[in-house]
Structure 1
Amino acid sequence: MPSQKITLSKYFKDGIHFSCLQCGECCRGLNNGEVYLYREDIERLVEHLNSNGQQYTLTSFSRKYVKVVRSSFYWENSKNGGGKNYSFKALGIKFIGEDESCPFLVNNCICSVHTARPYQCRAYPIGWNMLIKSNRNFAKYSKDCPGLKKSLEQKGEYYTPKEIIKWARKEYQMEKQFFLEMKKHQFDLFKTYSFLPKDLSQ
């Protein structure tokens, strides 16, 4: 997870054009890492699904769609300029199938919860600290993401550097808040999020 300092790479320093083309490529977890979930993500997804006729509680939703993953956070010490990297349990989407697709992906490329999707999904790519800071990571992701390929042609919605930094700071603040909650509860995930079922898959 990122530190608070944000220095935009050459692809983002002057702003970027980007529009999601809903190809579904980044919705398959096999090669794209985890989709992290926080309390507000789960609450928003439950509300969305229930408004469409489902009857989930936070607990039943978590049992079906959530798994335990590993995460980390670098805690900066403002007094001496140092810091410490913490590693702990977090929550992620429980992928399905051989290609580890998101369970909300339908017809191979359409997100069925697009308006309520997790922050990590809605923030891509402008809110991803690991992407906006790194030329190397941008080059890697743009190979598979048609939206990023189009951004090189300056096609898509335009985001200013100020907007990009705002999105990225939001990501940092969410991760920081979760870290502080976990630290308060001695990094016990089930005490931090008491609605989680005790048999949650890990």
Structure 2
Amino acid sequence: MTNLKFLLPALFAALALPAAAVDYQIDPTHTYANFEIDHMGFSTQRGLFRHTSGQIRYDPEARSGEIEIRIDAASLDTGFGLRDEVLRGADWFNVESFPDIIFRSQRFIFNDERPVAVEGKLIMLGEIRPMRLDITRFKCGLNLAIGKRGCGADAQGTLRRSDFGMQTGLPFIGDEVRLHVQVEAYPPP
């Protein structure tokens, strides 16, 4: 009984401590970046990048965090192999010289307890430009399928490809690109 008298206050004190920042590793099997672009006014063309990696640090108590998402530019897939090879070439993504597209956060934006946007920098084709990703879905919790706690989000933003030196096809192929990122992340093993 004496041990319980000392154990209970220690337990309550530990529960009252604020949650600390948690480090997560991006799950490449549930994280994809995809894009939409106008094609000569006839249609919206879509594609995705099949390989991503990165880290997230998230601190809900401090309302802060850090994100780095690395996209393998050569993993581009529009559903048409010949177009994909052209887009990987020097006139478009130039994947030989610039194999990665990187998003690095600078600031999380919260509405009450929920993150609603992340502002940061997008690095593509050797250029660095500001990028805001608006978060349309966000959840942290236990993923019952894998038995791990983690976080996931859907985010979207727009960019002008010409800001990164990608001029090919302008003005017939759109300059504005809508970027969507779906991400799941879990603590590293």
Shorter-chain TM range is under 0.3
- Largest Rg, 1 or 2: 2
Which TM-score applies when normalising by structure 1?
A: 0.23
Which TM-score applies when normalising by structure 2?
A: 0.24
Larger strand percent: 2
User: Could you say which structure has the greater relative contact order, defined with CA pairs below 8 angstroms and 6 or more residues apart?
Assistant: 1
Larger helix percent: 1
